[in-house]
Structure 1
Amino acid sequence: MPCLVLAGIGWWLWPTQPASGPPHIAAGTVQADLLSPDRVSRLAMTAVVAGAQSNRPHEPLTVSPAHCAVAAGPTTQSVYGQAWTAYVSATYKDAGATGAYTVNQVIGVFPDSEKANTAFSTLAKGLTACSSSTRTDQDGRTSKWTYKAQPSTQVAVAWTAAQHGDADWACSHQARVNGTSLVQVSVCQAGDAQPAVARVTDELARRVGR
């Protein structure tokens, strides 16, 4: 079973949905910009359903060496800090609830483009500074990861985080800075997730940039 801490988005925070249906999502909010499970299913070409959500970045992960905190927790405070004005992280899981496939979307909005670019720069530099790490979860369990980043541009970076000991299990990530927003998408599975993460990121970035 893959290590579900890998997306760094707080798997223990499962939202409580009212029996009458999903909560109302106001237009113009970061929650409204998220792609729906149905849309992600079409883009990723596999059925996913809604899972955990968070409205603030989690604290930095416990990781060794310490300078790998960004690579290990790209959606945490290690990247987004405290300067954001709106934030949402949403994870969709495979419809069979096996943990074999997950998609995470993150949107962080900052007061201005300078702060968004600073967060993006922190992410890009952190990825190049770390090739592997050992992460410790809240229960004291450790997992080893290897990171491989592609050369970044001024507005985008893509990378892969692979877990040791789980054959072919890896998370493909993309991040884009778009005006005052820094968006991220990860797709985790056994096998090559890069085509899927690119399609989801393209559409999410377009929605945020409208």
Structure 2
Amino acid sequence: MLPCLTLAGIGWWYWPGEPAPVPLHLVDGTVHAALLTPDEASRLAGTTLVSGPRSNQPPAAMTASAAKCAVAVGPATQSVYGNEWTAFLSATYQDAGGAGAYAVNQVIGVFPDSAKARAAFRTLTTGLTRCTSATRTDQAGRTTTWAYTTYPATPAAVVWTATQDAGSGWACYRQAHLKGTSLIQVGVCEAGNGRPAVSKIAEALSGKVTG
């Protein structure tokens, strides 16, 4: 059952087809950003992770049971990042055993200016506060129901948790940080307390984004 839970938990990280290899580093004008490697993420998460899907563009918005929940069900999709970004990078790592018991996702979206990055961050925070639960259909047609808990946002960060209904404790712990012209997101999905790991990974990732 765990592999199915993993797919459900990271449904908004699903990428159709088999994309060309995507590096873990991007340079966009004066912005330099690099995702944590699997080894770096493993040390912070306290478990061995291996590389999974990567993408250089946000996936299409997901279908939610209510239109107001589009952001909550797909925070790293076009629902938040839209089409005005100038560079985008996402990578998912999963447990080395292949049991689907743990997953980490990192996202960096770079915008032309800080105003557009702030607008995307506002879209994210506003969308999260509008939705406490939703049934989500991902790009592969899988349907799952989730409950969302969002904590008060600061001007540059927001923390929230998505818990799968009837998921045996499966939850995704997430953070988003606004840094200059970049909107950064990190998610840790597991049937346990992923909050300490997501905080460590988000802080480390934010430190790698300059400009």
Q: What TM-score, normalized by structure 2, do the two folds share?
A: 0.90
- Give RMSD over aligned pairs: 2.0
**Which letter maps to 2:34?**
D
1:206 aligns with 2:207: yes
Give the unaligned 5+ runs of structure 2.
none
SS at structure 1 position matched to 2:76: coil
Instruction: Name the CA shift for 1:24/1:199 in 2 (closer, same or farther; >3 Å).
Output: closer
1:6 aligned onto 2:5: no
Taking the aligned partners of 2:66 and 2:25, their CA distance within structure 1 comes to: 41
Q: Is structure 2 residue 44 aligned with structure 1 residue 43?
A: yes
Q: Is the 8 A contact 2:24 2:36 kept in 1?
A: no
Amino acid of the residue matched to residue 4 of structure 1?
A: L
| 1:1-210 aligned within 5 A | 1=2, 2-7=5-10, 8-15=12-19, 28=27, 33-209=34-210
Q: Take 1:106 and 1:205, find their aligned partners in 2: how far apart are those partners? A: 10
Amino acid in the other structure paired with 1:184: Q
Distance 1:191 1:77, change over 3 A: same
1:63 and 1:76 mapped to 2: Cα distance?
A: 13
Pairwise CA distance, 1:140: 3.5
Could you tell me which runs of 5 or more consecutive residues in structure 1 were left unpaired when the two chains were aligned.
Answer: 18-22
User: Shift in Å at residue 99 of structure 1?
Assistant: 1.0
How high is the sequence identity, in percent, across the aligned residues?
A: 52
Q: Which runs of 4+ in 1 moved over 2 A?
A: 11-17, 23-32, 137-141
How far apart are the structure 2 equivalents of 1:49 and 1:26? 17
> 1:5: how far off?
3.8
Deviations, residues 32-86 of structure 1 (Å, cap 9, x unaligned): 6010000000000000000001110011101111110000000000000000000
Report the 3-state secondary structure (helix = DSSP H, G, I; strand = E; otherwise coil) of the residue aligned with 2:7. coil
Q: Distance in 2 between matches of 1:111 and 1:77?
A: 16
Partners of 1:26 and 1:53 in 2: CA distance: 11
- How many pairs align? 205
Rounded to whole Å, the distance in 2 between the matches of 1:103 and 1:164 is 20
Equivalent-residue separation in structure 2 for 1:27 and 1:147 (angstroms) = 31
